[in-house]
Amino acid sequence: MLHARAAMSFTPKKSLGQNFLQDEATAKWIADQIRPDGAPLVIEIGPGKCALTQHLTGRSQKLLLLEKDDELAADLKLWFSTKPEVEVWHGDATRFDIRPLFQYGGVKLVGNLPYSMGSEIIRHFLTPPSPVSEAVFMLQKEVCQRLAATPADDAYGALSLMVQQDWCVDLLRIVPPEVFKPRPRVDSAVVRLTPRPPGDLPVYDRRLFDRLVRMGFSQRRKQLKKLLPESPQGWEAAVGLLNKPVTVRAEELSLQDWVALTRHFEGRHEQDRGQRASEVFDVVNERNEVIGQSTRGEVHAKGMLHRAVHIFVFNKRGELWLQQRSHLKDVHPLTWDSSAAGHLDAGEDYATSAGRELKEELGIEAPTECVATVPATEKTGMEFVELHRAFHNGPMHYAPDEISTGGFFKIEDIASWITARPEDFASGFIECFQEWQKKGIREKV
Domain that holds residue 310: 280-439
- Does residue 275 belong to any structural domain of this protein? no
Residues 165, 144: Cα–Cα separation, whole Å: 16
Residues 57, 39: Cα–Cα separation, whole Å: 12
Q: Are residues 364 and 286 in the same domain?
A: yes
- Residue 40, pLDDT score: 97
- In terms of Cα–Cα distance, which of 225, 194, 199, 197 is closest to 212? 225
Q: Are residues 218 and 357 in the same domain?
A: no
> Residue 269 phi/psi, 5° resolution?
-120, -10
Q: Are residues 239 and 343 in the same domain?
A: no
Residue 194 contacts residue 134 (beta carbons within 8 Å): yes
- Does residue 273 belong to any structural domain of this protein? no
Q: Where are the alpha helices (DSSP H) in 309-373?
A: 350-357
Residues 18, 69: Cα–Cα separation, whole Å: 10
Buried b or exposed e, range 42-51, using 16+ CB within 10 angstroms: bbbbbbbbbb
Q: Which of 266, 291, 314 is the last residue of a domain?
A: 266
Q: Which of 214, 241, 266 is the last residue of a domain?
A: 266
Q: Are residues 12 and 120 in the same domain?
A: yes
Residues 150, 254: Cα–Cα separation, whole Å: 7
Q: What angle do CA 266, 167, 209 make, to 5 degrees?
A: 20
Per-block mean pLDDT, blocks of 10 residues, the chain (445 long): 45 55 93 97 94 96 96 94 96 97 96 90 97 97 96 95 98 93 88 97 96 96 94 91 96 97 93 77 94 92 94 96 95 96 94 97 96 95 96 93 96 97 97 91 53
- Residue 440, pLDDT score: 74
Counting runs of H as helices and runs of E as strands, what totals does the chain give?
Answer: 13, 18
- Does residue 288 belong to any structural domain of this protein? yes
Q: How many CA atoms lie within 13 A of 356 on its CB side?
A: 12
270 CB contacts (<8 Å, ≥6 apart)?
none
180 - beta bridge partners? 21
Q: Which of 266, 291, 310 is the last residue of a domain?
A: 266
136 CB contacts (<8 Å, ≥6 apart)?
30, 33, 34, 109, 110, 172, 190, 191, 192, 193
Number of neighbouring beta carbons within 10 Å of residue 316? 11
- Residue 275, pLDDT score: 66
- Does residue 144 belong to any structural domain of this protein? yes
Helices 118-126 and 141-148, axial angle in degrees (round to 10): 40
Q: Are residues 101 and 25 in the same domain?
A: yes
CATH number assigned to the domain comprising residue 10: 3.40.50.150
Q: Are residues 30 and 172 in the same domain?
A: yes
Q: Are residues 112 and 65 in the same domain?
A: yes
Alpha-carbon distance values, 101 to 52, 129, 418 (Å)? 21, 11, 12
- Does residue 271 belong to any structural domain of this protein? no
What is the total count of domains within the chain?
3
- Does residue 272 belong to any structural domain of this protein? no
Q: Are residues 30 and 173 in the same domain?
A: yes
- Residue 183, pLDDT score: 83
Buried b or exposed e, range 401-423, using 16+ CB within 10 angstroms: bbbbbbbbbebebbeebbeebee
- Residue 394, pLDDT score: 87
Q: Are residues 299 and 258 in the same domain?
A: no
Q: Are residues 210 and 126 in the same domain?
A: no
Is 39 exposed, middle or buried (CB count within 10 Å of its CB: 0-12, 13-18, 19+)? buried
- Does residue 444 belong to any structural domain of this protein? no
Q: Are residues 225 and 289 in the same domain?
A: no
Is 331 exposed, middle or buried (CB count within 10 Å of its CB: 0-12, 13-18, 19+)? middle
- Residue 237, pLDDT score: 92
Q: Are residues 407 and 432 in the same domain?
A: yes
> Residue 326 phi/psi, 5° resolution?
-65, 155
CATH number assigned to the domain comprising residue 238: 1.10.8.100
- Does residue 355 belong to any structural domain of this protein? yes
